[in-house]
Amino acid sequence: MKICCFLFLIISIGFNAFGQSKKGDKLFEKKLYIDAIKAYEKATKKSASSETYAKLGELYKIAKSYHQSKEAFEKAVTFEDAEPKVYLSYAYSLLSINQPLEAKTVFQQYAELLGGDPKADMYILGCDQLIEWNKDTTDWTINTLTGLNTPASEFSPHPYLNGLIYCSTGQTDWVDYTEYEALHNNYYDIYYSRTSGSNTSFIDKKLLSNKLTSFYHDGPVAITPDSSAIYFCRLTRSGKSERMHLFYSEIINGKIEPPQSFNYNNDEYSIMHPTFSSDGKLLFFASDKGSENGSYDIYFCKKTRRFGWSAPRPVPGLINTEKDELFPHYFEGKLFFASDGHFGYGGLDMFVALDKEQYKVITNLKAPLNSSYDDFSLFAINETNGYFASNREGGEGLDDIYYFTHNEIIKEDEHPTMTGVFEYKKLRQGDVELILYDELGNEIARTRTDDKGNFEFRNLNIDKNFTIMPVGDLDESDIYITNANGEKLILMSNSNGSFEFKPLAYESSNILLPIEEEYPTLLTIKMNGFVYKKLKGDLSQRLEVNAFDENGNLLARTYTNLDGSFEFKTLIPTSNYTIKVGTEEEVFLMILDSKGELTTDPEREGNSKFLFRRLSEDADVFKIVNEENVIIELLQKESFNLPSIYYETNSYQINANSAEQLDKLFILLKKNSHIKVTFESHTDSKGKDSYNLKLSENRSEAAVKYLVKKGISKDQLVAIGYGETKLVNHCKNDVNCSPEEHALNRRTEISIVGKKIKF
């Protein structure tokens, strides 16, 4: 099965590589694949060529006629003008029918045509590896499911209650099509079957819910760990555009509520195959977002208490390739997925990568879990058991679900390594000696921080308490436990200069979200950027990015995503910033964006250092002292978001979080009598426009009254309300949004003007 029910959305890339022509090409464009095969079969009889046989081979592959695909490619390479990529496709077709020795020979021919190619060498070695993998199938048990699999397709299993949710060919025909025209299959729906005595026996196949059934494809699904909601993907059509979008339905008292659209759905790309981390704070899915050739990568979003799901980002490491990565499943620090981009048996294979290794080591799950057919949608119940789907021979139908048992999918180290970062006065410190003590005060180990403040202690017992003591007088220091990406997870408790902690088992610690950095001061700015070598997106690894002020003080550190993008969320305002990325030995290019001001060619201070001028020489600026006693320069009427100043629906009461931020502003105003602050409050779109306008005015007035009561002159304060006229997201009237999305619009911002004085 080529990407299961979403086949027609993503398989066109390989075919298009051979060009478009004649009747067969037109039928392919209309997704009439069976008819296109007939057209090309006639074309090969009339005027055979390497190109026509190659196109026919691709179409047979789409139709899962693997032996016929191999025969078509075998004929395609007999022509003198056969291109090297045809040999590559021929070799893969041999793998798809489990002929690695023959495939190795064709890979060698492919390498000779190119005059040597490292990738071809890898393919050749891979064939030898496949032969060895096929020998090691001990300790595995693979069973088909009775009472569930049918001559149609069943895939994407998800255990739920006393049964299994899965996708299967539906019987619905909402649009008067008796069959789905691409491959003459019905649409897919979301089904549920109850277990009948074992994990391999099922009864009572039925639709999970009519509320999850639409005109077109529905599924697969993922259920939140607390069983409060079900997320699923659905085919949507807009004009000629067809995309998979993500939806979710709340589960209240066991009943599935009407679906709601996921915030990041977009007609420009697809989102599908959702899965959650164990705590529900990470949502993984497959998407062709940002893809130039239509291939799919694995992305993730983080759940935050204030803002809901963060924007999608591709997973770090080496999981994503130029081909398709699909069907992610996250289980206790392991990210399982299906791919045809990593070398394997042919078609889709299943792989696993570890979170703690930053997804840089990709492991093929090997035979018998993988085969020369399409193997995908693994769901691990525990370390030794689970389900997956495959269209391998011997099944009931097109795709079937199987139950597997094994000693252990991938073994973990029993004694975890604790990694952390040491900071002094909020800056990372290198060459600091740290001593590790057990709970009886015995010294266990010593280590030193590297030049970035990082350290580690290995082979710790998870049932014991430990203490870390820095050597030297470092009262204003902090120690954080970090994950494999170097992101802070836990701030250790500080007791008179010693830091106490208890190691967590990896399955507990690996799902912790990084600590959200606190605002260093009340007034901060954001800066976004891109790092690249020649073209945007050509980085192959995450790089460290540091921001310095004009005096060389380190202000912030962040890391690029794999596409080269990065973000500083809370920079102290200063005239100029020096941005340093990676090491000085490498040469990079950079694009910077601060408050919408794009700098495509910042001044270079070295191979990897760039100067960003925030304030021009003729800018209308003034100076203030912030609450940390740092002199900063601001533009007249420059605006800032007040962090944590959010309101309950229909309320303008100052809560505890708001009061904390207003107290910081009080200090700022007391230090700077030469400035005037304007409060600009905003509401969400709920309610009448006139009511929201009045409500926002009340919110600004409430902030002003709070500060006046503390002793700030009213002459320094201005209150303005904008109601719902300046929303920060798409949540307009009649748009279905989550409570978290609406909350983002209930905010207060400030703008500042000031006189020019000397300090």
CATH number for 149 = 2.120.10.30
The answer to the question of residue 497 being in a domain is: yes
Of all residues in the chain, the percent with pLDDT exceeding 70 is 82
Q: What's the Cα-to-Cα distance from 404 to each of 98, 274, 379, 433, 628, rounded to whole Å?
A: 21, 22, 10, 49, 59
Domain containing residue 464: CATH number: 2.60.40.10
- Clarify whether residues 193 and 276 are in a common domain: yes
The answer to the question of residue 204 being in a domain is: yes
pLDDT of residue 594: 76
For residues 4-32, average pLDDT: 51
Whether residue 414 has pLDDT greater than 60 = no
| Alpha-carbon span 559 to 544, nearest angstrom | 5
The answer to the question of residue 518 being in a domain is: no
| Alpha-carbon span 547 to 467, nearest angstrom | 32
Which run of H or E residues covers position 594?
strand 589-594
Question: Helix, strand, or coil here: 431?
Answer: coil
Query: Which segment of 249-258, 450-459, 617-626, 698-707 scores lowest on mean pLDDT?
Result: 450-459
Domain boundary, last residue among 115, 133, 151: 133
The answer to the question of residue 128 being in a domain is: yes
The answer to the question of residue 411 being in a domain is: no
Which distant-in-sequence residues (6+ apart) come within 8 Å of 60 by Cβ?
Answer: 37, 66, 68, 69, 72
Domain boundary, last residue among 112, 133, 154: 133
Contact 229, 249 (CB under 8 A): yes
- Clarify whether residues 478 and 600 are in a common domain: no
- Clarify whether residues 294 and 171 are in a common domain: yes
Which distant-in-sequence residues (6+ apart) come within 8 Å of 37 by Cβ?
Answer: 56, 59, 60, 63
**Highest mean pLDDT range out of 44-53, 183-192, 515-524?**
44-53
Whether residue 137 has pLDDT greater than 90 = no
- Clarify whether residues 427 and 552 are in a common domain: no
Q: What's the Cα-to-Cα distance from 351 to each of 136, 154, 283, 335, rounded to whole Å?
A: 17, 20, 19, 8
Short-list 423, 425, 431, CA closest to 499 = 423
- The rounded mean pLDDT for the chain is 81
Domain containing residue 40: CATH number: 1.25.40.10
| Residue 720 DSSP class | E
> Other C-beta atoms within 10 Å of 198: how many?
11
- Clarify whether residues 606 and 638 are in a common domain: no
DSSP one-letter string for 221-236? EEE-TTSSEEEEEEEE
| Alpha-carbon span 327 to 407, nearest angstrom | 23
- Clarify whether residues 484 and 554 are in a common domain: no
- Clarify whether residues 606 and 657 are in a common domain: no
The band of 178, judged by pLDDT with boundaries at 50, 70 and 90, is very low
The band of 99, judged by pLDDT with boundaries at 50, 70 and 90, is confident
Contact 448, 489 (CB under 8 A): no
Domain boundary, last residue among 381, 406, 431: 406
- Clarify whether residues 372 and 424 are in a common domain: no
Whether residue 386 has pLDDT greater than 90 = yes
The answer to the question of residue 517 being in a domain is: no
- Pairwise pLDDT comparison (201 vs 546), residue with the higher score: 201
Contact 482, 428 (CB under 8 A): no
Domain containing residue 576: CATH number: 2.60.40
Domain containing residue 634: CATH number: 3.30.1330.60
Q: Which domain holds residue 567?
A: 525-613
pLDDT of residue 305: 67
- Clarify whether residues 531 and 422 are in a common domain: no
Count CA within 13 A, CB hemisphere, residue 61: 31
Q: How many domains does the chain have?
A: 5
The answer to the question of residue 728 being in a domain is: yes
pTM: 0.53
The band of 742, judged by pLDDT with boundaries at 50, 70 and 90, is confident
- Clarify whether residues 120 and 157 are in a common domain: no
- Clarify whether residues 603 and 645 are in a common domain: no
The answer to the question of residue 90 being in a domain is: yes
- Clarify whether residues 170 and 291 are in a common domain: yes
